[in-house]
Structure 1
């Protein structure tokens, strides 16, 4: 999968995501929550949906960025809007109820078909590990204007 990140629109969240990726934080984690016609979520070192990097990043929203198509990459969080950490999700379809409530950090530009091959999984009822996320590589950084 290849994604474009929105560093200008969500600078703190993208910076955290890139930092964690460059540190190898995401290597070999699993897609711990995968819901048909909704999204696939990863970024939890515990694989349960409860783990993170040990810090939180605030909500960053831009009115022009919405969950209006497949492949939107958003930051997962708790009920506190300012609790994003390392967990992120990629949508399978438009999901407007997420608009302005979850930071959008990017958009898949290639590989939505690959995402669709990830096995469905509910961490609360599936004792098996989710499919692995091998690694995230940052291949090109362009400074935000």
Structure 2
């Protein structure tokens, strides 16, 4: 019931969602990361993330793509829940949510260390539930991906997330995961 109330509150007023508190656990990272959401520059993306978080959709979702020196990607609520029946790392990263895709909300905010951006397919208007956190600046993403927030505490936890292998950063074995994701006001 509480999750439903939060979901309805976030859907009705995205300004209520000013951030996320993310509890991360796994072989690499263990701790809490706080993210400030930028509802002023990406209101539709922030509303989507806040609604999914309030409904518990991000809980137990793995970091499926982690590239050293670049970023850590998570948020596949369809295939990335490590506690779901039939969970497979091969499928993690291929899904989204039952909510619609979001049109791009590009801004002048650069992709610096700690910036949170929305992942998407080739179509700029295809962001849905997946997001990534930058380990290092990635200015080549500026104007190509939507900036949705920034890590304000716990960057050392982000730095410890288990890295993936190969060019695409696919995580092998037991990935780190977001145990719980809570919307903050």
TM-score by length of 2: 0.71
| 1:89-136 Cα shifts (integer Å, max 9, x gaps) | 000010000001110000111011000111002477654242111111
Which segments of 5 or more consecutive residues in structure 1 lack a partner in the other structure?
A: 141-145
Q: Distance in 1 between matches of 2:137 and 2:40?
A: 23
Q: Distance in 2 between matches of 1:98 and 1:29?
A: 24
2:75 is aligned to 43
TM-score by length of 1: 0.89
2:23 is aligned to none
Is contact 2:65-2:169 (8 Å) kept? Answer: no
Q: Distance in 2 between matches of 1:93 and 1:30?
A: 21
Runs of 4+ in structure 1 deviating by more than 3 angstroms, as ranges, are: 122-127
Which segments of 5 or more consecutive residues in structure 2 lack a partner in the other structure?
A: 1-32, 81-91
Compare CA radii of gyration and give the structure with the larger one. 2
Higher helix proportion: 2
Q: Distance in 2 between matches of 1:26 and 1:52?
A: 11
2:96 is aligned to 52
- Structure 2 counterparts to residues 1-145 of structure 1, below 5 A: 1-45=33-77, 46-47=79-80, 48-54=92-98, 55-63=100-108, 65-67=109-111, 69-122=112-165, 126-140=171-185
SS of residue paired to 2:182: coil
Q: Distance in 2 between matches of 1:10 and 1:105?
A: 6
Higher strand proportion: 2
Q: Distance in 2 between matches of 1:126 and 1:40?
A: 10
Count of residues in correspondence between the two structures: 138
SS of residue paired to 2:140: helix
Is contact 1:71-1:91 (8 Å) kept? Answer: yes
SS of residue paired to 1:20: helix
